[in-house]
Amino acid sequence: MAELSDVYFVDGMRTPFGRAGEKGMYWNTRADDLAVKATIGLMARNTAVPADRVDDVAIAATSQTGEQGLTLGRSVAILAGLPQTVPGFAIDRMCAGAMTSVAMMGASIGSGMYDIALAGGVEHMGHYPIGGNADPNPRFVVERMVDPGALNMGVTAERIFDRFPQLTRERSDRFGMRSQQKAQAAYDAGKYRPDLVPVAIKDAEGSWGLATEDEGRRPQTTMEDLAGLKTPFRPHGRVTAGTSSPLTDGATMSLLAGRRAVKELGLTPKMRMVSFAFAGVQPEIMGIGPIPSTEKALAKAGLTIDDIGLFELNEAFAVQVLSLLDHFGIDDDDPRVNQWGGAIALGHPLAASGVRLMIQLAAQFAERPDVRYGLTAMCVGLGQGGSVIWENPHYNGRKR
């Protein structure tokens, strides 16, 4: 008989993230193969988990077409060599796809229906630009359900500036610069490498190489550089390429398990799921979505924002993160927030990003036994937010 269970994030791995487009390192690599690489790498690192014990595979993609359109969870499971008895499915919540994969598989484990599951996401924005094959219903605009600009993420970011005058371009530029600096410092300290799965790549001349690190970083970025950038979404606007996540290709995968499987297989979880929540907001200002989703997740967990010792917030746009920090009274440079940089430096392959946040939080938990709870949160296109609160199994109750 099924029993309610704790839900554990056992492990997570990802491909290096590449710049989207013909000059990007994955231009000649299929999207589904990126997800296959992440899956193979994760299973190879977790040999204590028999492949035939995986109950389900959930893989998200925002553009579910072409290489990303054939029921990714199932097709990737087969291509990665999992037994054909392992089922799988695809899921879409735009930017929060992988986060939703984890939430749904976590709920299935928590209810006792599953013991072990794989959850992740992939996005090849070079092959499938956001909204490229989409056909939005004309009623959205004709019946004024949403403003036409709501379908352009950069326009929605400009509107956050409009709504909150204290969110200045200078603050946004500084946050973008710091993301680049923190990401490079983390690379120099070897923080990222353990969780990256190398990917064989082929260039335009047919020569083979190996992708081993994120391609889009710009660690030499200065405030002067950022001040001189154009504002593509509005004349004299405040959103620039330097304060936005770049178009990115990549895949992520996580291994989740319940209490019974952890004990039986002798697994060492990296995090325990405490709560998750998703929320809707006006599509025109989708970037504030993580504010209500975080409030809901905190309420479900019986916690307050002061209980959160580490934050991994997806940097779709700097201003979007700043709006959340201001709402909760957190300083722009608070060391708890994105301490290894974020999507402005690393990239944001839409549906893959949620698990990237979790991988980083899990690695930070291992270094910080003084921290009990952490938050992964992100905004979502069409006006949503997603948040997951995690508990650190290494927590020892001692102050740092």
Q: What pLDDT score was predicted for residue 205?
A: 83
Arithmetic mean of pLDDT, 47-64: 97
Please tell me the predicted confidence (pLDDT) of residue 1: 75
If you search the block for the tokens 């909760």, which residue do you land on? 328
Catalytic residues: 95, 348, 379
Question: Is the pLDDT assigned to residue 42 strictly greater than 70?
Answer: yes
Strands (DSSP E) contained in 76-137 are 88-91, 116-124
Express each pLDDT in 383-400 by its tens digit.
999 999 999 999 998 776
pLDDT of the residue at 145: 86
**Side-chain half-sphere CA neighbours of 336 within 13 A:** 19
What's the pLDDT tens digit per position in 106-162? 999 999 999 999 999 999 999 999 877 788 888 887 888 888 888 789 999 999 999
Q: How does pLDDT run across 280-334, given as a tens digit for each residue?
A: 999 999 999 999 999 999 999 999 999 999 999 999 999 999 999 999 999 999 9
Mind listing the pLDDT tens digit for each residue in 7-31?
A: 999 999 999 999 999 999 999 999 9
**d(C-alpha 48, C-alpha 253), whole Å:** 17
Cα 338 from Cα 334, distance rounded (Å): 9
Average pLDDT over residues 232-237: 94
pLDDT in tens, 340-367: 999 999 999 999 999 999 999 999 999 9
Question: What is the average per-residue pLDDT within 252-256?
Answer: 98
How much of the chain, in percent, has pLDDT values that exceed 70?
100
pLDDT digits (tens, 9 = 90+) for 56-81: 999 999 999 999 999 999 999 999 99
Q: Is the pTM of this model over 0.95?
A: yes
Report, as an integer, the average pLDDT of 372-381. Answer: 97
pLDDT higher than 90, residue 215: yes
Alpha-carbon distance of 160 to 223, in angstroms, equals: 21
What is the SS3 assignment for 289?
A: coil
Residue 400: its pLDDT value, please? 67
